[in-house]
Amino acid sequence: MNNLIIRPAQTPFVPSPQFPFIDLDNIPEAHIVDFKPVETPSNVHFLEANTDSISMDALTSDCIVPTWGNQELTISHQDFINTVYDAAKNYFCGESVNAPAIRVSHEVKGRIPAALYKKPSELLPSDKTKFFQRLAFAFTIPTIFESIDGQRMELCIGGVRNYNDLNLYRAARSFEKFSVFIGWRVNICSNQILSGDGLKFQMEVSNLDELYLQCMDLFRAYSPSRDLHLMRSLTDTYLTESQFATIVGRCRLYQALPPKEQKAIPRLLITDSQINSCCRGYFANPDFGAKDNQISLWDFHNLLTESNKSSYIDSYLQRALNATDLSVGINNTLRGIDDKYAWFLS
């Protein structure tokens, strides 16, 4: 009786050419189809300059998991990835989710106690241990996509972890820190678009359940349409070659400013070498370079995020967010909305 559903009275069904009568006594038997979603490899290519690619199997089988000073295990890299991945699949239930692309750097090599006194040339593969201090991963949801200026973009989720943020020599276990992001990624070049709403720096958690809940909170708070509106507004604003040169010069000058003057200007994290990369892209990039001696702020933003691929893992997310802040700030200045970034155009 608990499943009883009371429905209102309905008009008797009358067959018609559009809705013919169905003989319920002669319906052929149904065939059960075993359907399983296929997880295709991610097409995300990022941080290739200072990192190495690694598979989930290699992380699990070839790498040790560091411990705290009291020998309690830290959260492993693979558990971090799996937790964020599971949260994304559950939150975006019914969508296709690609497999994560994983990048690592700063390998820490060691050896087992039994091989403590062996010479390096005598070490067997079974004697060696290793783990990676820094890890970044990302995966796309190809069924959630949009287009800006003819470029397909897919929703992308990922995270960054850096063991340098922890003091593993502590006698007792402490909170562990993870950074997780969600935002749009330009398919043609894997440029990552990040805003403050889609990024949580250094989530402090003590277990995987807390990490999972914080990821779900991030996904709920993020507005994909807001970021789309923000990026589309950049396509309507153009920089002349003179304005582009002024911005580039100011970015180079920023690094040499006295600390007191730097504090009066919005923070710039893009390095000189990355600014040089933007200059080369202005002339040579076939997708986001200048056209008719001018460049849209959307293309300028993509030149910045393209150059960010040369960053190390621990600064990648900060600079991606900074690229968005700079582009949007210049756009607001040119439109007369605010003058916070006016120094970069003066």
| 3 state DSSP class of 61 | helix
What tens-digit pLDDT sequence spans the chain (346 residues)? 444 444 444 444 444 444 444 444 554 444 433 334 444 555 667 787 889 999 999 999 999 999 888 888 999 999 999 999 999 999 999 999 999 999 999 999 988 888 888 888 888 888 888 999 999 999 999 999 999 999 999 999 999 999 988 888 776 778 999 999 999 999 988 899 999 999 999 999 999 999 999 999 999 999 999 999 999 999 999 999 999 999 999 999 998 999 999 999 999 999 999 999 999 999 999 999 999 999 999 999 999 999 999 999 999 999 999 999 999 999 999 999 999 999 999 9
Kind plus residue range of the DSSP H or E element containing 183? strand 176-186
**In sequence order, what DSSP letters do the residues of 63-96 get, joined into one string?**
----B-TTSPBPPPHHHHHHHHHHHHHHHTTTS-
Distance CA 319, CA 163 (A): 20
| 3 state DSSP class of 213 | helix
pTM recorded for the entire structure: 0.84
